[in-house]
């Protein structure tokens, strides 16, 4: 490693002042209640253009748009954990002459940031954060830093930091060797060789928030903007290292700012933030309250009510199925099957309403208590998810009656409830719900398809109508499909030709987008439980917009286990561009072995290893964080045996995904959600077949870990 090498420059007076200020500040006791951290021009926790040593609240999700002069930045930032923050940024530089872009063009750049907190602010110590900016990308904005922030008072705080890369270009103090250029000019690779290399310079500033809504900032920037201010570029003139700004929060979660930057330009920024961890949004906030538990009369007072003679007939469920189905329907649930004995009943339910299986179980248990004879003491409730019976939740009726109004009633009931596997045939005498098989249902609603980050036009979208149909032939046997018709949009205007050297399984998406109308999917699927802890699926037909074929999947998932293992094999054939039922010549066998694990605090990890659509072999690692109200934020990355140079722009497949529940928008309980996939660029390497109804996501919500996580809603 190259040793530190002092640079032949004098230490700036403002840098010395910042260092001295930090030394004083670390001795100032921290206040109990401090002003909330704010975001900077890069959309990360910081001052104006410089980062700070703080972190946002755990799970904070923020979208920032900022700009000055010819520079605009749009950033999505997520507080992954209390000590880790990640960001994706899309920047535009109008008139930058770089990489084939001319004076009249806008150069767009994608970048990722990662920040890790090393120290939490305490009585004497500052909050200390180390950060990597643009560590996966072209390196246009790359820089590393160590920043410390300390409160002088609850509403005044100071920051001092040391930066490399872009943050080390003004009056550097020393150098840690020669800083290499990006390892891959196409972007997408992790530039390990740049980290904390090259000249290092001081930055810092002060922030004062006199009220919860109003804030003022001043900073000393260590970014010389050498590229943007060079004589060839001339995007603005950097006349000063001092920046000043004022920010206002008109309503919680929205913060607006105006700034005077580098002695040359005014800038503005807008930040919209929400916290899915704290945000209301569960289905329990909407719709009618649950019915109270119906109490049975005492056996001694009404012995006939407890008589088991009613169960002696050949079909005891026949007279109870209708009333119980009505009681369930009032709660938004569907009776899938019912088996009743003198002391025990098994009820299988579909849950189209509640986004937590525990809430559906609680509503079903109370419906059973209102309808079933008093002698039935044990309730086995089986949620049917994705056409498959998942966990069996066993509840004693006497516990329902005794614990409804007990202190900490949910925990008390959970201590007496058992979860088990629901594989196997229905019990003798079971009756299916009426009108379920065969059954046809259809819907007509809006759709939106997007294509982001094309350098010619980074924001493209189509809006239209989607006609969907579903035919349930028998339990686990489903035929379904959808057709879309565009009403307005510009996806068909993309003309950039694919330059891929791999089979073009995804890079010709623009050719598919020209068709209208389009048969999206048309499939037949069979779901089954071949054995305890095992789930299976076979799907055939037009699986997705670009491929049809046959897909088979087997999942091992014990009810109480956090771990699941799966295997999938597919034969896929590429569909014609015209949106109809024809095929092209390309066909391939793909498949993956998968491992899933549910960690604490809503974290879910998935590892898929196998063969992808372009014939490449590799693995995809996904990490998601899911919240009790249905929000979900995640990221994934795929590395295969395709070299970065053959992959092309972006170097490897990666992306960010969001799932947003629609409870608050609908104003009623619903399991519907909308999602967004932010994929910086999609090429042909690492492309996986898209198949509806994959098993793990279908069943895990009704298994032990998910039931435990949402069990607090069992009485709601």
Secondary structure of 107-144 as H, E, C letters: EEEEEEEEEEEEECCCCCCCEEEEEEECCECCCCCCEE
Q: Encoding tokens for residue 9? A: 């420059």
Q: Is there a contact between 209 and 155 (Cβ–Cβ < 8 Å)?
A: yes
Looking at residue 579, the DSSP 8-state letter turns out to be S
- Say if residue 83 is in the same domain as residue 130: yes
Q: Determine the pLDDT at residue 193.
A: 83
Give the model's confidence band at 104: pLDDT under 50 very low, under 70 low, under 90 confident, else very high: low
Asked whether the CA dihedral 208, 272, 459, 452 is positive or negative, the reply is positive
- Nearest of 511, 479, 517, 516 to residue 498 by alpha carbon: 511
pLDDT in tens, 152-183: 999 999 999 999 999 999 999 999 999 887 65
Beta bridge mates, 335:
349
Q: Is there a contact between 611 and 590 (Cβ–Cβ < 8 Å)?
A: yes
Q: Determine the pLDDT at residue 1.
A: 40
Pairing mode, strands 334-340 and 265-274: unpaired
- Say if residue 230 is in the same domain as residue 91: yes
Range 544-559 average pLDDT: 98
Asked whether the CA dihedral 607, 611, 613, 614 is positive or negative, the reply is positive
In the chain, DSSP finds a helix count (H) and a strand count (E) of 11, 34
Q: Is residue 99 part of a domain?
A: yes
Taking the C-alpha atoms of 475, 481, 482 and 483 in order, what is their torsion angle to the nearest 10 degrees?
-150
pLDDT in tens, 268-294: 999 999 999 886 544 445 567 888 999
The phi, psi pair for 564, rounded to 5°, reads -140, 150
- Say if residue 690 is in the same domain as residue 542: yes
pLDDT in tens, 342-398: 999 999 999 999 988 999 999 999 999 999 999 999 999 999 998 899 999 999 999
What does R_g of the chain's alpha carbons equal in angstroms? 30
Q: Is there a contact between 48 and 219 (Cβ–Cβ < 8 Å)?
A: yes
Full domain range(s) for residue 370: 290-304+316-435
User: Which residue pairs from 102-109 have beta carbons closer than 8 angstroms and sit at least 24 positions apart in sequence?
Assistant: 108/453, 108/455, 108/458, 109/137, 109/138, 109/140, 109/141
Q: Is residue 284 part of a domain?
A: no
Residue 569 confidence (pLDDT) above 70: yes
Strand stretches in 341-402, DSSP E: 344-350, 378-385, 388-389, 391-396
Distance CA 52, CA 18 (A): 13
- Taken as a whole, the chain contains a residue count of 716
pLDDT in tens, 105-153: 788 888 899 999 999 999 899 999 999 999 886 777 899 999 999 999 9
- What CATH number corresponds to the domain at position 30? 2.40.160.40
Domain count, the chain: 3
pLDDT in tens, 434-489: 999 999 999 999 999 988 887 778 888 999 999 999 999 999 999 999 999 999 99
Q: Is there a contact between 390 and 532 (Cβ–Cβ < 8 Å)?
A: no
- Say if residue 417 is in the same domain as residue 511: no
Residue 230 confidence (pLDDT) above 90: no
Looking at residue 565, the DSSP 8-state letter turns out to be E
- Say if residue 108 is in the same domain as residue 189: yes
pLDDT in tens, 612-671: 999 999 999 999 999 988 899 999 999 999 998 889 888 889 999 999 888 767 667 788
Q: Encoding tokens for residue 664? A: 């608050």
Distance CA 143, CA 225 (A): 12
Q: Encoding tokens for residue 302? A: 């009404």
Q: Which residues of 610-630 are buried (b: 16+ CB within 10 A; e: fewer)?
A: bbbbbbbebbbebbbbbbbbb
Tokens 């294509």 found at: 451
Q: Is residue 130 part of a domain?
A: yes
Distance CA 56, CA 35 (A): 11
- Say if residue 376 is in the same domain as residue 456: no
Strand stretches in 209-253, DSSP E: 214-220, 242-251
- Say if residue 73 is in the same domain as residue 179: yes
- Say if residue 425 is in the same domain as residue 512: no
Beta bridge mates, 127:
149
Distance CA 389, CA 346 (A): 12
C-alpha distances in angstroms, 701 versus 432, 579, 655?
A: 23, 34, 24
Range 38-54 average pLDDT: 97
Q: Is residue 198 part of a domain?
A: yes
Q: Is residue 691 part of a domain?
A: yes
- Say if residue 694 is in the same domain as residue 589: yes
Q: Is residue 54 part of a domain?
A: yes
Distance CA 221, CA 228 (A): 15
Region of poorest pLDDT, from 34-43, 93-102, 339-348: 93-102
Beta bridge mates, 388:
385
Q: Determine the pLDDT at residue 100.
A: 55
- What CATH number corresponds to the domain at position 692? 2.40.160
Distance CA 538, CA 692 (A): 11
Taking the C-alpha atoms of 274, 276, 280 and 285 in order, what is their torsion angle to the nearest 10 degrees?
150
pLDDT in tens, 666-694: 667 788 888 888 888 889 999 999 999 99
Distance CA 594, CA 545 (A): 24
Distance CA 523, CA 40 (A): 48
Peptide bond between residue 447 and the one before it cis (omega within 30 degrees of 0)? no
Q: Is residue 331 part of a domain?
A: yes
Q: Which residues contact 288 (CB under 8 A, 6 or more apart)?
A: none
Distance CA 316, CA 345 (A): 11
- Say if residue 551 is in the same domain as residue 690: yes
Distance CA 88, CA 44 (A): 10
pLDDT in tens, 500-541: 999 999 999 999 999 999 999 999 999 999 999 999 999 999
- Say if residue 596 is in the same domain as residue 670: yes
Asked whether the CA dihedral 373, 374, 379, 381 is positive or negative, the reply is positive
Range 175-195 average pLDDT: 76
Asked whether the CA dihedral 405, 408, 410, 416 is positive or negative, the reply is negative
Q: Encoding tokens for residue 364? A: 């079903």
- Say if residue 155 is in the same domain as residue 78: yes
Tokens 């890069």 found at: 42
Q: Is residue 389 part of a domain?
A: yes
């Amino acid at each position: 490693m190259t040793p530190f090498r002092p640079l032949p420059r004098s230490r700036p007076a403002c840098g010395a002042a910042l260092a001295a200020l930090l030394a004083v500040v670390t001795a100032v006791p921290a206040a109990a209640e401090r002003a909330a951290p704010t975001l900077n021009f890069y959309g990360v926790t910081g001052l104006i253009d410089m980062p700070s040593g703080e972190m946002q609240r755990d799970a904070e999700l923020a979208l920032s748009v900022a700009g000055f002069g010819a520079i605009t930045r749009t950033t999505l930032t997520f507080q992954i954990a209390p000590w880790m923050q990640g960001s994706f940024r899309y920047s535009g530089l109008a008139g930058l002459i770089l990489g084939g872009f001319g004076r009249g063009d806008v150069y767009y750049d994608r970048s990722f940031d990662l920040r890790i907190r090393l120290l939490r602010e305490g009585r004497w110590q500052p909050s200390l954060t180390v950060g990597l900016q643009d560590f996966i990308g072209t390196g246009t904005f790359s820089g590393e830093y160590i920043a410390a922030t300390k409160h002088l008072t609850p509403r005044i705080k100071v920051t001092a930091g040391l930066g490399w890369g872009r943050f080390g270009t003004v009056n550097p103090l020393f150098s840690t060797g020669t800083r290499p250029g990006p390892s891959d000019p196409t972007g997408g690779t992790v530039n390990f060789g740049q980290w904390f290399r090259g000249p290092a310079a001081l930055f810092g500033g002060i922030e004062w928030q006199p009220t919860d809504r109003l804030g003022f900032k001043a900073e000393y920037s260590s970014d010389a903007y050498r590229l943007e201010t060079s004589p060839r570029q001339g995007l603005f003139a950097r006349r000063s290292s001092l920046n000043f700004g004022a920010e206002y929060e008109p309503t919680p979660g929205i913060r607006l700012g105006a700034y005077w930057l580098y002695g040359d330009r005014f800038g503005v920024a807008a930040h919209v933030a929400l916290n899915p961890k704290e945000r209301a949004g569960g289905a329990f906030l909407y719709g009618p309250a649950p019915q109270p538990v119906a109490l049975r009369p005492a056996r001694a007072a009404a012995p006939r009510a407890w008589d088991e003679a009613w169960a002696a007939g050949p079909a005891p469920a026949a007279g109870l199925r209708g009333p119980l189905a009505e009681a369930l329907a009032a709660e938004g649930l569907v009776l899938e099957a019912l088996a009743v004995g003198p002391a025990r009943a098994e009820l299988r339910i579909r849950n189209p309403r509640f986004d937590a299986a525990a809430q559906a179980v609680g509503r079903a248990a109370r419906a059973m208590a209102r309808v079933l004879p008093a002698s039935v003491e044990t309730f086995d409730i089986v949620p049917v998810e994705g056409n498959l019976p998942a966990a069996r939740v066993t509840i004693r009726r006497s516990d329902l009656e005794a614990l409804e109004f007990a202190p900490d009633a949910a925990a008390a009931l959970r201590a007496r409830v058992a979860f088990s596997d629901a594989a196997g045939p229905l019990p003798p005498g079971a009756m299916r719900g009426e009108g379920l098989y065969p059954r046809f249902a259809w819907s007509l609603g809006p759709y939106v398809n997007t294509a982001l980050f094309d350098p010619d036009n980074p924001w493209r979208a189509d809006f239209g109508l989607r006609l969907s149909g579903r035919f349930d032939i028998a339990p686990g046997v489903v035929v379904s499909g959808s057709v879309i018709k565009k009403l307005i949009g510009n996806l068909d205007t993309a003309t950039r030709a694919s330059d891929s050297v791999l089979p073009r399984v995804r890079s010709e998406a623009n050719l598919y987008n020209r068709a209208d109308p389009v048969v999206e999917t048309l499939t037949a699927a069979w779901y089954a439980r071949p054995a305890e802890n095992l789930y299976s699926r076979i799907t055939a037909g037009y699986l997705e917009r670009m491929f049809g074929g046959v897909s088979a999947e087997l999942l091992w998932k014990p009810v109480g286990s956090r771990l699941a293992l799966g295997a999938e094999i597919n034969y896929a054939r590429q569909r014609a561009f015209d949106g109809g039922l024809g095929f092209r010549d390309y066909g391939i066998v793909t498949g993956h072995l998968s491992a899933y694990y549910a960690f604490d605090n809503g974290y879910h990890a998935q590892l898929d290893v196998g063969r992808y659509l372009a014939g490449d072999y590799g693995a995809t690692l996904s990490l998601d964080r899911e919240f009790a109200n249905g929000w979900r934020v995640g990221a994934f990355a795929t590395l295969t045996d395709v070299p970065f140079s053959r992959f092309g722009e972006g170097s490897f497949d990666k992306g960010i995904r969001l799932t947003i529940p629609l409870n608050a928008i609908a104003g009623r309980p619903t399991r519907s959600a909308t999602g967004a996939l932010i994929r910086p660029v999609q090429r042909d390497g690492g492309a996986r077949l898209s198949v509806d109804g994959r098993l793990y996501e279908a069943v895990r919500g009704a298994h032990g870990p998910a039931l435990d996580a949402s069990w607090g809603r069992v009485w709601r």
